[in-house]
Chains A and B, each alone.
Chain A
């Protein structure tokens, strides 16, 4: 009997955790689908009374606020370039640190881990000045460079783990069969690394997509804004007068991240478990 009570209580606790976790996401979508005047009642609608896509149209097409589409374009350009460049550079670097033993290897890994810990908050001004010196402020190239450097340490560190998982013996036997070392990396290791590259790339994508502070400082001109900067500007400009449209904008920005995140989470949780075995 006591066991029964406990399991009911635990089930109830699970439901509470679920509701608390999901509610903000639900509330964002719920608000975004209602006309702005209906979310301003004395009793909030927990389910939309009138379904509308008007808020999304406002965000996407209303001329005064039409920064969304350019911002989306900027975000896509910067994010995709960042991921591609970072993956290539990180692949090369991770080969170096896993397949070779050399003097400065430890120093490099140490530097990578330390760089991870340098907060972007501290770097904004000097990054701004350095980019300014190279005439790269308010450019796609400038922001991409900054993001590549930001995601690179983590990309190298993660790929390093995946490359370690590909047995050296495979490369060696390919080389015995007459493959060059470069050929072995390219034909054997690279394809086997595909899942690792995808997972790492997706995480780089999410980071670059969500990055807010550096984009705010470096690409401040309206036509060069990325989505997070746009969303924040839109929210401040709209104030509290049109929460429905703000929620529509938030939804549009969050959806790609949520989808990508759910796609790779299996890899991540299994990784977390094996990470924990060693503890």
Chain B
């Protein structure tokens, strides 16, 4: 449920010109009013995010299995859960897979998104609208339905992809299974995730492109700069900070991918060989009933995500305070 989440956030981070601190004359009298206004939001965040977070942390140091869910006391076991997780080759395989999948998706989405943004910047109004409409439709599609639809398109027996590939390449794709082999499973997953992620990348970078002054580009063209040089030496420096933010957001979203992998496993695919971090936590905890170990993995994941996002958060804060 994240893909729209941070879009707005990123955008609104820069929407308003924030007045500097000083000229803000309005200093209301009631000292406790702002705190009162925050009470409802804080209560619910503490109850639904803060408290479970504490529980999660505690649980990761406990032996916590099915018996404990039904009321047995949970003994503290120190770092045993962490030791088990960190000593488990399966965990490292999952982590490595998640990181590889994330990198592959970020690179693909960034490359395609940038190319499409440059394309939108070059073509006439008609084609620009055409591309925008297509991207918006893909962007609006819920991740779960998108995954199920792609799953049907890649169906072994009646999938349209096998049909088209056979028609185009002339090779035999009859009953070719895409999901049974882990590598091709992730190829399909990458297509699904990229399909959903490219619109955000393309629109954001396109918005940035419209800010690059045309005169500078023309001048450089007169000076004999080729297309690649113009992109590398002029466009890219202008857009550097946009690229940084978009890349960070993509890394965060792709590292915690759940719905697409989980749903695709439901259509076909071997769970043991295709789980990513989020799915692995689900399988260990809900599927396997080992909540302590699942908790330890979850704590590791939370720390990882927060570490990655610190840069983004600091950036947003700076924008807020300027």
Near A by CB (< 8 A), chain B positions 11-47 give 11-16, 18, 21, 24-28, 30-31, 33-35, 37-38, 40-42, 44-45, 47
B182 contacts partner chain A, Cβ-Cβ < 8 Å: no
A 89-100 to B, binary, CB cutoff 8 A, 1 in contact else 0: 110110111011
Inter-chain pairs besides A156-B41, A158-B8, 20 sampled, C-beta below 8 Å? A24-B138, A97-B34, A99-B26, A119-B256, A124-B286, A126-B59, A130-B52, A153-B45, A154-B9, A157-B9, A161-B15, A199-B8, A206-B4, A228-B142, A228-B144, A232-B263, A261-B140, A262-B140, A272-B7, A279-B211
* 23 A/B residue pairs, CB under 8 Å, sorted by A: A11-B123, A18-B134, A21-B131, A21-B195, A27-B160, A44-B160, A89-B44, A113-B316, A114-B313, A119-B278, A119-B301, A121-B277, A200-B8, A211-B1, A212-B259, A253-B142, A258-B140, A265-B140, A274-B14, A274-B15, A275-B207, A278-B14, A279-B208
A113 engages B210 (CB within 8 Å): no
> How many Å lie between the Cα of A44 and that of B26 in the bound state?
66
Kindly specify which of A51-59, A62-70, A142-150 makes contact with the partner chain. A142-150
A31 engages B152 (CB within 8 Å): yes
Contacts of A13 in B (CB 8 A): 119
> How many Å lie between the Cα of A216 and that of B218 in the bound state?
55
A96 engages B37 (CB within 8 Å): yes
Contacts of A148 in B (CB 8 A): 44, 48
A102 engages B35 (CB within 8 Å): yes
Task: Specify which of A93, A126, A200, A275 is in contact with B56 (CB 8 Å cutoff).
Answer: A126
B157 engages A130 (CB within 8 Å): no
A92 engages B158 (CB within 8 Å): no
Contacts of B146 in A (CB 8 A): 24
Least CB separation from A13: chain B residue: B119
A225 contacts partner chain B, Cβ-Cβ < 8 Å: no
B286 engages A217 (CB within 8 Å): yes
B195 engages A273 (CB within 8 Å): no
Q: Tell me the A residues contacting B by CB distance below 8 Å.
A: 7, 10-11, 13-15, 17-22, 24-25, 27-28, 31, 39-41, 43-44, 88-90, 92-93, 95-97, 99-102, 104-106, 108-111, 113-127, 129-130, 145-146, 148-154, 156-158, 160-162, 164-165, 168, 171-172, 181, 199-200, 203, 206-213, 217, 228, 231-232, 235-236, 240, 243, 246-247, 250-251, 253-254, 257-258, 261-262, 265, 268-269, 271-279
Least CB separation from A14: chain B residue: B127
B44 engages A152 (CB within 8 Å): yes
> How many Å lie between the Cα of A53 and that of B133 in the bound state?
27
In the complex with contacts A105-B34, A121-B256, A171-B26, A114-B163 CB distance below 8 A: no
B 293-320 to A, binary, CB cutoff 8 A, 1 in contact else 0: 0110011011001101100110011011
A164 engages B16 (CB within 8 Å): yes
Contacts of A129 in B (CB 8 A): 52, 55, 59, 69
Task: Specify which of A97, A117, A257, A262 is in contact with B309 (CB 8 Å cutoff).
Answer: A117
B291 contacts partner chain A, Cβ-Cβ < 8 Å: yes
B236 contacts partner chain A, Cβ-Cβ < 8 Å: no
B173 contacts partner chain A, Cβ-Cβ < 8 Å: no
Contacts of A274 in B (CB 8 A): 11, 14-15
Near A by CB (< 8 A), chain B positions 126-163 give 127-128, 130-131, 133-146, 148-150, 152-153, 155-158, 160, 163
Number of interface residues of B (CB under 8 A): 122
Least CB separation from A93: chain B residue: B41
B11 engages A271 (CB within 8 Å): yes
In the complex with contacts A22-B137, A124-B286, A262-B136, A250-B295 CB distance below 8 A: no
Tell me which of A116, A160, A217, A276 has the highest count of chain B C-beta atoms within 10 A of its own C-beta: A276
B10 contacts partner chain A, Cβ-Cβ < 8 Å: yes
B252 contacts partner chain A, Cβ-Cβ < 8 Å: yes
A207 engages B320 (CB within 8 Å): no
B13 engages A275 (CB within 8 Å): yes
Nearest CB on A from B46, distance (A): 9
> How many Å lie between the Cα of A45 and that of B191 in the bound state?
23
In the complex with contacts A18-B131, A243-B152, A275-B14, A119-B305 CB distance below 8 A: yes
> How many Å lie between the Cα of A20 and that of B256 in the bound state?
25
B 74-101 to A, binary, CB cutoff 8 A, 1 in contact else 0: 0000000000000000000000000000
A25 engages B141 (CB within 8 Å): yes
